[in-house]
Every structure is written in C-alpha cells, then in structure tokens.
Amino acid sequence: MSVIACCPGTFDPVTNGHLDIITRTASRFDRVIVGVLDNPSKNPLFSVEERLGILREVLKDLTNVEVCTFSGLLVDFAHAHKAATIIKGLRAISDFDYELQMAQMNFRLGKVETLFMATNPVYSFLSSSLVKEIARFGGDVRGLVPSGVAERLRDRYEAPQA
C-alpha cells in the first residue's frame, strides 16, 4: 500500500520555499498530491490554471508528485486522494498558532494528520505575499521563486506600453 501525503497551498505564486517542502516530502512518501486552492475570493494574482501550470512545470521531474486543484475543505480533498497526511512547512514560531489550529480542526473534521516540516532556514523569511510586493515595486525576486515565476511577475507588473 502506498503512503500518500498532501501538500496544500494557495501558491500565488509558488516560491522556492514551497518547492523545498514538496521535494523533501516527495523523498519520504510514496506519493505526494499538491493541492492548489481555487478560491477566487482571495483575489489571486495568478489564476488557478496558471498556478497549476507553473507547479506542473517546475515539479515535472518528481515522478511521484501530482498537482491538482481543489476548492472546499482540505480534508475532503485529502480523502478523495487517499492522503492520510497533510504536510505543512513551518517557517517560524509565528506560523505555529494558526497552523496548529488548522491541524487540530482538520483532525477533528476528517481524522487527517498534519505533520510539520521545518522550513530550510535559507527560506525562513520567504512568502508569496512578500515576493509579490517586491516584484510590484520592481525589486529582484531571482533566487526566491523559480525563474519562470520571476518572468511572469515581471510581465504582470510591467508598466503598460503607451
């Protein structure tokens, strides 16, 4: 029987910190389902189709990783994919309160366990929101996100040509 883990997130956009967690998860589980939240009310910069496409491209060499979208409850998505474990990266203690609450609620809702993986310290300051803010003001996001994401961010925030 294969042991399946789920790595959920908004991934707007995916960062090198996310990729590090997904890659390390893939090395310890038989299969990994990356769940991309489709929640238009969050007003994402990248559509769910773009986020799926980016993740599938950057993860294409990890043969035990599948990228899917979901809406609704994470526990329902995990059950649908037979994933008994959710993996969440923890960057700092400030992440912990909310993540603990979600982990306990997800266990209560669907008996799905959450395991926390310590973020690689080289990415502990990294978040999708900060990456977008830096890109919006023309800052350099190379090394923080995959190169294709850096290009898309540049295109997205480039001033329209007259």
Residues that bind ligand PNS (CB under 6 A): 8-10, 37, 73-74, 102, 105-106
Q: Residues 24, 31, 88, 128: which is the catalytic one?
A: 128
Nearer to ligand PNS, 144 or 162 (CB): 144
CB-nearer residue toward ligand PNS: 10 or 16: 10
Active-site residue among 24, 51, 88, 91?
Answer: 91
| Known active-site residue 132 | no
- Comparing C-alpha atoms, which of 8, 9, 7, 15 is closest to residue 127? 15
Shortest Cβ distance from residue 71 to ligand PNS (Å)? 8
- Residue 13 CB, shortest distance to ligand PNS, in Å, is 11
Q: Is 82 a catalytic residue?
A: no
Closer residue to ligand PNS (CB): 37 or 65? 37
**What is the DSSP track for the chain?**
---EEEEEE--TT--HHHHHHHHHHHTTSSEEEEEEE--GGG--SS-HHHHHHHHHHHTTT-TTEEEEEE-S-HHHHHHHTT--EEEEEE-SHHHHHHHHHHHHHHHHHH--EEEEEEPPGGGTT--HHHHHHHHHTT---BTTB-HHHHHHHHHHHSPPP-
CB of 149 to ligand PNS, least distance (A): 15
91 flagged as catalytic? yes
Least distance in Å: CB of 121 to ligand PNS?
19
Please pick, among 27, 28, 42, 47, the residue that the annotation labels catalytic.
42
Q: Which residues are catalytic?
A: 18, 42, 91, 128
